[in-house]
Amino acid sequence: MDLPTQTVARLPWNNALINDGRGADTVAQMTADAPATVDPRALPDARVNIVLLYPGLNDPMKGATPQDLLALVRAYCEARRAAGFKVCVLTVLPCATPALDAARRSFNLLLRSAWPEFADELVDLTASNIIGKPGASFDHTYYADRTHLSDRGVEIAAIVIAPRLKTMIEASAPRPEAAGYSFVLDRAPDTVPDTTIDAAGPAAGFGGLGDGVWYFHVRAVGGDGTGSSTLTRALRVDTSPPETFSTPSLTWRYGKIKRLAFTIADTVPGSPSAVVRITITDRFGRRAARFVLPDIPVNVELTEMLPCPLPRGVYSLTISTTDAAGNRQTVPTVGRIVVR
């Protein structure tokens, strides 16, 4: 069963489904086709019309950069919203081609930051520790061909997507105006606030929170004192900087591919990934190479291939990491490289 069908089957209402996906299409082609293939299919009597967009990697395969792909996704989403749709966009799952997977990671990092500007919801499929983890595409239980999901992988993706679509549909229902809001912030995932109004408007502020996962629970309270269902959102507080561990002394062969093994340790990761900056300087302190690696998994030993044809000599290595919450490594990791 395909992903749209699997997803809709997990929703509790009668939903009309139109699958406009075509495997080889780029986002650029979908944008060009959508005024004829998608927009006329909006149902005027529906509670809400939703477009679910999976960008895929067809555009990068044809030369698009991660920034290009983000611009294409933005244009597609803005056009669908202008046509009356709500838009839910998905992050892109791993693939087995190293260059494409690097582009995918960079795009996902951009999308996680920018999506509120042009979409109504984001589903981060890469947050799944089964189908979204690094190297997941090599697991034939969940991937059919190291790029596309198997039936079991599709089932997991549908389980991740359906609750977000359910929230979008529920949020579209007409509701009476609230007299105020009752809320609780705690460590429990299933707290139900009482009907005492804590704030007249839809805003709340908190300070002095410790690191880790918190849950914000909120209910609208009507003028008659009745409360709505509870909306709960998990919040990750991360004030702890990451550390990077690598071999302090490396020997590289001149003219060979340079490999650097390292581990990002983040005791309270607000995200499964971080941004790594690598700088190599010569013995005079001049920069010989610099790399910025986005969307690098934390708490996992990794080996990155660095395209830097360094001449023979002795170099200094500096590694600095910034986690998803913006915490930067306090003291950069330093090392020594000898190219023979």
The one-digit pLDDT tens for each residue of the chain (340 residues) are 588 888 888 888 766 667 777 778 999 999 999 999 999 988 888 888 999 999 999 999 999 999 999 999 999 999 999 999 999 999 999 999 999 999 999 999 999 999 999 999 999 999 888 999 888 889 899 999 988 899 999 999 999 999 989 888 888 877 678 899 999 999 998 999 999 999 999 899 998 888 888 999 999 999 888 898 899 998 888 888 999 999 889 999 888 778 888 999 987 766 678 899 999 999 999 999 999 998 888 888 888 888 778 899 999 999 999 988 888 999 999 999 999 9
Q: Are 67 and 199 contained in the same domain?
A: no
Closest CA to 250 of 120, 119, 339: 339
> What pLDDT score was predicted for residue 1?
58
Boundary of a domain, candidates 191, 219, 237: 237
Tokens at 81, concatenated: 């919203």
Q: Are 264 and 132 contained in the same domain?
A: no
**Are the C-beta atoms of residues 318 and 329 closer than 8 Å to each other?**
no
Q: Are 19 and 139 contained in the same domain?
A: yes
State which residues form the domain around 193.
180-237
- CATH for 308: 2.60.40.4070
Q: Are 149 and 187 contained in the same domain?
A: no
Q: Are 139 and 281 contained in the same domain?
A: no
> What pLDDT score was predicted for residue 16?
66
> What pLDDT score was predicted for residue 270?
64
Angle at 198 between CA 194 and CA 204, to 5 degrees: 115
- CATH for 139: 3.40.50.1110
Q: Are 294 and 161 contained in the same domain?
A: no
Q: Are 132 and 257 contained in the same domain?
A: no
Q: Are 328 and 249 contained in the same domain?
A: yes
Q: Are 165 and 204 contained in the same domain?
A: no
Boundary of a domain, candidates 194, 211, 237: 237
Q: Are 205 and 249 contained in the same domain?
A: no
Q: Are 195 and 277 contained in the same domain?
A: no
> In Å, what is the CA distance from 170 to each residue of 16, 70, 167, 231?
16, 28, 5, 11
d(CA 76, CA 119): 10
pTM: 0.58
Boundary of a domain, candidates 214, 237, 260: 237
**Are the C-beta atoms of residues 95 and 101 closer than 8 Å to each other?**
yes
pLDDT tens for 218-276 read 999 998 888 988 999 988 888 889 999 998 899 998 887 788 889 999 877 666 788 99
Buried b (16+ CB within 10 A) or exposed e, 28-55: bebbeebeeebbeebeeeeebbbbbbbb
The count of structural domains within the chain is: 3
d(CA 75, CA 81): 10
Q: Are 221 and 256 contained in the same domain?
A: no
